[in-house]
Structure 1
Amino acid sequence: MASPRLGFRLAVCLLNVSEARKQDVVETIAKAALCDKPGQKKTQTTVLNIFSDYDYNRSVLTLAGPIETLGHSVVAACTEAYNLIDMEQHDGIHPCLGSVDLVPIYPLSECVSLEECGKVAHDIAESLSHDVPDCSMFYFGYADQPHKRSLVQRRKELNWYKRSNLNVNDIKPDVGTTVSPRYGLTGIGASPYVMNCNVTVDTQDLNIGQLIASAVRGANPGGLRGIQAMAFPHEGTVEIACNVESFKDKPPMPMTEESTKYISYYIEGEEHFYFAPISIERQIKKLAASYGVKTVGTALVGFTPEHCKCLAEQAIREGYGAFWRKRKTITM
């Protein structure tokens, strides 16, 4: 539950923007979330981390703060991103539809509900439609009422995974009338925390990467539950990019060293489980070996939900809005 020293009810936004090659642009977006311009009041939001990938031309900014005020910071950051990123000029290997591609709101404190996060997502969309009239958005998760369609389902419906075959004129956004060529389409929603765990395989054969991604994907027989995976060519190798979703059903016990390892956390008193990054790495390593290749590294984009909550509490307690800068000088 929330730290009694702080009394904050914390949530987090893992803001995905379609820019990674101009770090000054990415950091300007991060600073906007802090509202630290002259004459503006600083918020209690902290930017815990900035993860940028040159080949993907995509950055993920971890914005955490009280659920009651986080939306204002997210709107400020998104508005800046819309101003600075032109989708007509974008080039990168990661699928995307918008200059602000994804705005997921996740609860961090146990007492913050998914319904509240969905309401914040709606408020963000309403504010952005007013501040940036030509932007357009689709809802997912607890912002997509009453259907609560998942992000994966919405992306499939929009052909997000095959952008080259997409005709934006065929898209009817949930917010906005048409899709602007400059801003593109933004996904806004709420769900239990989703981690991003990327495992690098030492091969240039994308077909091997795609076979591994398919085998680890939770929707396929033998896959890891809650895992969405794609394979991309990356810096002369292949990266298996995994979205790690949580689930409620308690995993079978006992579990041996060779079996999967789960970690749990709570939302409103309900226990949720997700695969530990080490289990994902172990499974991909085993699959890669079956094709005669090795894994050469694993990167967690951001944090586990527990680590994210602890860092957010520390950053707010110590008054570090630009916490990502502090993290460069210390070992976490």
Structure 2
Amino acid sequence: MSQTNKKIVESVPNYSEGTNADNVEKIVKEIKETPNTRIVNVQFDSDYNRAVITFVGTPKGVLEANLAAAEKAINLIDMNQHQGQHPSIGAVDVVPFDPAKNINMEECNELAVEFGKQIAEKDIPVYLYEESAKHFQRKDIDNIRVGEYEGLKESIKTNPDHKPDFGPRKFHPTAGATITGARKQLISFNINLGTKDLAIAKKVAKCIHNRTGGLCNIKAMGTQLEGRDCIQVGISNVDYRKTPLYRQMELVRIEAKRYGAPIVGTELIGVLPIDAVLNSLDFYLQIESPKQLQQKHLLEHYFDF
């Protein structure tokens, strides 16, 4: 198959490890050593206690890399000792498969289902979300994470709404549970506020979160990052084409201003599609001719392997 027609999948697995750099590197190594994959970005944070690895590859390569990395993470991470700001239900918390080039959502769904089945063989309950969800309410990951690790650990045993799609109706003793699915590319774009008051960030997050009357496709939470002496509104945009970045940015600016808190910085987790950048560039610069903005996906630089 030519480079032009090669099928490319993006995956952004999230692991519940942000304090031990050696463990993160061991997980990353499993992906690096898998043929037909390329790592784009690695980020981990001690306050969130979370590692996010963005990589691309052929369908077979991405599936094999995720399985190898998951096995390593399962052996390294003990959820009984885990503490962090980010909601989580397992060592291998969520593993999405995103169509990047010459591949459709259904093919990514097949990868997610196969990944889920193989993880379940390790006595880990697996939930399907987004485009792979078998139940409508599970399209939204928040509905799966209700109660987070401690709560779901108990309710999975008896609550029919919390029965996993694959695997046992009990948590793995140390690895908990896993979420996987095919999805559109998600953008994690966090906004730092010039305040020491966590309550302000929580109020702003509530104003923009889709469930509390905010913007469609936006999930948000206010957090205090002690390691960086920072108050942050953590934001996940699950469909940036419908809810552009500039819209979430400006609504945060408006709501934070009510409390006298300016935006002092932003943080991107993973990579950013260039069309999302160009959309915001067009909004802020008000360029008369949109044709001047040539759209090309940022990830294409990583497709040649």
TM-score normalized with structure 2 length: 0.83
Shift in alpha-carbon separation, 1:76–1:310, aligned structure 2, 3 A: farther
Overall identity of the aligned pairs, in %: 28
- The aligned counterpart of 1:118 is 109
Shifted more, 139-148 versus 285-294: the winner is 139-148
Shift in alpha-carbon separation, 1:108–1:244, aligned structure 2, 3 A: same
Q: State the 1:148 CA deviation.
A: 7.4
- The aligned counterpart of 2:84 is 92
Matched, 1:176 2:167: yes
Q: State the 1:192 CA deviation.
A: 1.1
Q: Aligned to 2:249, what secondary structure does the other structure show?
A: helix
Q: State the 1:307 CA deviation.
A: 7.8
Q: 1:49 aligns with which of 38, 41, 45?
A: 41
Q: 2:21 aligns with which of 20, 23, 32?
A: 23
Matched, 1:293 2:264: no
Q: Aligned to 1:241, what secondary structure does the other structure show?
A: strand
Q: 2:181 aligns with which of 189, 203, 206?
A: 189
- The aligned counterpart of 2:287 is none
Pairing 1:1-332 to 2, within 5 Å after superposition: 5-34=3-32, 36=33, 42-109=34-101, 111-130=102-121, 133-145=122-134, 147=136, 149-155=138-144, 158-160=146-148, 163=149, 166=151, 168-171=153-156, 172-177=163-168, 178-221=170-213, 223-235=214-226, 236-246=229-239, 264=241, 273-276=242-245, 278-306=246-274, 310=297, 312-317=299-304, 319=305
| Conserved? CA contact 2:93–2:177, under 8 Å | yes
Aligned residues: CA RMSD: 2.4
| Conserved? CA contact 1:108–1:305, under 8 Å | no
Q: State the 1:289 CA deviation.
A: 1.0
Shift in alpha-carbon separation, 1:288–1:148, aligned structure 2, 3 A: closer
| Conserved? CA contact 1:44–1:316, under 8 Å | no
Provide the C-alpha distance between the structure 2 equivalents of 1:73 and 1:220, rounded to a whole number of angstroms.
37
Shift in alpha-carbon separation, 1:274–1:11, aligned structure 2, 3 A: farther
- Aligned residue identity for 1:304: L
- Aligned residue identity for 1:238: I
Provide the C-alpha distance between the structure 1 equivalents of 2:258 and 2:2, rounded to a whole number of angstroms.
50
| Conserved? CA contact 2:79–2:175, under 8 Å | yes
TM-score normalized with structure 1 length: 0.76
Shift in alpha-carbon separation, 1:6–1:25, aligned structure 2, 3 A: farther
Q: How many residues align?
A: 277
Query: 1:29-77 deviations in whole A, cap 9, x for unaligned?
Result: 111013x2xxxxx411111101111111101100211224311111111
Q: Aligned to 1:142, what secondary structure does the other structure show?
A: helix
Q: State the 1:306 CA deviation.
A: 4.2
Gaps of 5+ in 2: 157-162, 277-295
Q: Aligned to 1:19, what secondary structure does the other structure show?
A: coil
Q: State the 1:288 CA deviation.
A: 0.9
Structure (1 or 2) with the greater helix fraction: 2
| Conserved? CA contact 1:13–1:64, under 8 Å | yes
Shift in alpha-carbon separation, 1:74–1:307, aligned structure 2, 3 A: farther
- Aligned residue identity for 1:159: G
Shift in alpha-carbon separation, 1:307–1:68, aligned structure 2, 3 A: farther
Q: State the 1:213 CA deviation.
A: 0.5
